[in-house]
Chain A
Amino acid sequence: MEKTLEKILKDTKENEGNLISVLQDTENAFGYIPEEAVNWFASKLDINPSVFYGIATFYAQFHLKPRGKNIITACCGTACHVKGSDRLINGLKQELALPEGEETTKDMEFTLEKVNCVGACSIAPVFIINKKVHGKAAADKLIKEIRSIKGSKSENK
């Protein structure tokens, strides 16, 4: 981990970065913000860890918990809302057996996250599964996609 963190720190210094870019690079490298990383930067930069924590919890992009291997992003923009994204999200929660208030499945395979708006409103409702945009999403197609990801995993075993 330390090597990665050193590289982030170096890049930040070279590119006029700031605490946000440090956290963005950390998130990109680990998929979330590990506590150890924050403590490491805090001591190197002589900035209180609480300052990092304050920024990380302010912005929606940062996650303090590890996330699943497969990321499902549900758009909750206005157009998606009026076209019933809520119901689709609830359907996916059932499919993934996600308990209330949790985003990531117990086996760390899937994370279902909501975002404000991905700006693809004319093809609402929109879901992004592993960076692939699914427009005009329907419950059966989404579940099929998720089951095929699950299926390919069990085949690999």
Chain B
Amino acid sequence: MKINNTVIKVCMGTGGIAAGGSEVMDAFRAELKASGIEAAVEKNCLMHKVGCRGLCAKDVLVDVIVKGQKTTYQYVKPEMVSRIVKEHIIEKNPVADWVVGDDYHNFHKKQLKVVLSDCGSIDPEDIDAYIAGNGYEAARKVITSSAPADVIGTIKASGLRGRGGAGFPTGVKWEAAMKQSSKQKYMICNADEGDPGAFMDRSVIEGNPHAVIEGMIIGAYSIGSDKGYVYIRAEYPLAVERLRKALSDARARGFLGKGIFGTKFSFDIKVKLGAGAFVCGEETALIASIEGQRGMPRAKPPFPVYSGLWGKPTVINNVETLANVPYIIRNGAQWFSSFGTEKSKGTKVFALTGKIKNSGLIEVPMGIPLREIIYDIGGGIEGNRALKAVQTGGPSGGCIPAEMLDTPVDFESLAKVGSIVGSGGMVVLDEDNCMVNMAQYFLQFTQMESCGKCVPCRIGTKRLLEIIGRITKGKGKEGDVELLEKLSADIKAASLCGLGQTAPNPILSTIKYFRDEYEAHLKGKCPAAVCKELLTYYILEEFCKGCGACLRACPAKAITGEKKKLHKIDPAVCIKCGACFDVCKFKAVGKE
């Protein structure tokens, strides 16, 4: 049997694989073989994996393209494959029951994809797929026909700013490095995405690694570097694997190595695996880590562009920043700067997570109102509950309360309301989330990750954590909130690096907008019923069916009751683990 012009794309990012992407792909292969069309698979029916297309919550997502007509299926499981092959690929009738709905299309409608334009549509492990879409043409163009200063001019004119958190203009950084006379310079890609709740860089590398490599080649050419490193988290095994393959493919094609594109320009890239330290996202700490030492930051200046890796001028750019570069060169500075706001140009990739319906990876023009992200792209709050706040910027950022949802999302506007764009984590919180608990969560993280070099951060964050800890336990004292504010201000002012300077932000911003929740904790109440020590669990008489599920689940044997009769929780024995709450199907366990 002959099948013409059919393409099957299976989502195989970390999310897709976790949902069973490999099994789905195997099922397609087996099914095509069983249908007798296997011989045509390679030639006329293309099947390939693609990186993340964003809406991981609906994985496994599969595109079936028949004669240019694309149909996307959601929640695909191996057992669904035979029907798709039979009805859609052979009989040409898409299986309407499994096709994505409006929410999938709405999720994409207000997005604007630059960095992610090829993610989710090309096979990340196939260099030819990237080349077919003009890949490596930008690098060829600049290396063979532009002077480094002109390339830097284009990047400066585009208004591209660092996407790792600080938002420093990329072109200015490159220019400073270019002007250094040192013979040896380094180009580093920072893929140490350590913010909890962020996966933009992972998705970009998993979905389109060649764009990052091409960006690095262009950067290296501009500053005059022949050696680059990608410092990537070891916690991202799939991204590391795809990056390594992409590097060796690029090397085989002569895009990396000696005499690139027949010129005198040489450049190669090595992968350095991070060993698990959040502070290594800070550039001087990252450099120390590449050198094989403890990743501790040092005072700046001198900035790495003057004295970086092994004392040589070094440019460090974030993954997303670099992935923007080839597209800017291809389409021009003006094209890029037509997106975004006056001071924040282009787009930004966010990891939209938490209590949101369409959780996933999104790319939006800078300046888009937060409301559009949450309700149009994100589809609103899970279970239609009430939105409480949106946390941006991870442990260095702050929260934006529901009443400020019209805030435009760009560097300046978020800073004005006390948060940051940061690397792009965006966590949606609903009425069931306790803001004091959230602040404590982030502080626990930064306190643990503090490298210990400078006192304000090492000891200051520890003291902050103790104070907030006693507040969540109902043992807070009058004046504790003010003490948190005072200590936070001191830590911000006196810490050596960005970690300490921003660590108090989650506390300050939750106090600013949710002071009442802190006050309630001081009075022994957790309004969202999250803080364990302030909770009591009880059984609601009218709902309890006496099924015994809670009794069996209780590890402390605090629940008593006969079958089909009302059960009871003994508060003196209860360890407040919440197991009963989780297992009860009748909503008969209450907490307050």
Contacts and interface: CB of A to CB of B under 8 A. Distances in A.
A103 B59 CA distance: 32
A76 B578 CA distance: 18
A57 to B, nearest CB: 9
Given A78-B197, A116-B278, A121 B353 contact: yes
Interface in A122-142: 122-124, 126, 133-135, 139-140
B15 A87 contact: no
A54 interface: yes
A29 interface: no
Interface in A44-92: 54-55, 58-62, 76-79, 81-84, 87, 90-91
Contacts of B579: 87, 91, 139
A59 B292 CA distance: 11
B291 A90 contact: no
A58 B195 contact: no
A118 B354 contact: no
A116 B18 contact: no
Contact of B56 (A62, A115, A122): A122
B375 interface: no
Given A58-B277, A61-B275, A133-B14, A121 B199 contact: yes
Interface residues of A, number: 43
B503 interface: no
B441 A81 contact: yes
B270 to A, nearest CB: 8
Nearest to B556: A94
Given A78-B441, A123-B18, A139-B579, A116 B294 contact: no
Most buried by A among B57, B292, B449: B292
A122 B278 contact: no
A18 interface: yes
A79 B56 contact: no
Nearest to A18: B292
A95 B77 CA distance: 30
Contacts of A61: 234, 275-276
Q: Which of B17, B293, B353 has the most CB of A within 10 A?
A: B353
Interface residues of B, number: 59
B256 interface: no
A108 interface: no
Nearest to A76: B196
Most B-side CB within 10 Å, residue of A17, A118, A121, A134? A121
A149 interface: no
A99 B352 CA distance: 36
B171 to A, nearest CB: 29
B394 interface: yes
B196 A116 contact: yes
B15 A122 contact: yes
B15 A120 contact: yes
B555 A55 contact: no
A119 B294 contact: no
A120 B429 CA distance: 18
A91 B194 CA distance: 26
Interface stretch (B97-105, B355-363, B471-479): B355-363
Interface of A: 16-21, 23-24, 54-55, 58-62, 76-79, 81-84, 87, 90-91, 94, 115-124, 126, 133-135, 139-140
Q: Which 9 A-B pairs have the closest CB atoms?
A: A18-B292, A78-B197, A60-B276, A119-B199, A59-B275, A133-B18, A77-B196, A79-B353, A122-B56
20 contacts: A23-B275, A24-B234, A24-B273, A55-B293, A58-B451, A60-B275, A79-B354, A82-B429, A84-B578, A87-B582, A116-B235, A116-B445, A117-B195, A117-B197, A120-B15, A121-B199, A121-B351, A122-B352, A123-B19, A135-B15
Given A81-B196, A83-B355, A123-B15, 13 more contacts: A19-B293, A55-B294, A59-B275, A59-B295, A79-B353, A116-B276, A116-B449, A117-B198, A121-B351, A122-B15, A123-B56, A123-B57, A133-B14
Interface of B: 14-15, 17-19, 55-57, 59, 193-199, 202-203, 234-236, 270, 273, 275-278, 289, 291-295, 351-355, 359-361, 391, 394, 425, 427, 429, 433, 438, 441-442, 445, 449, 451, 555, 577-579, 582-583
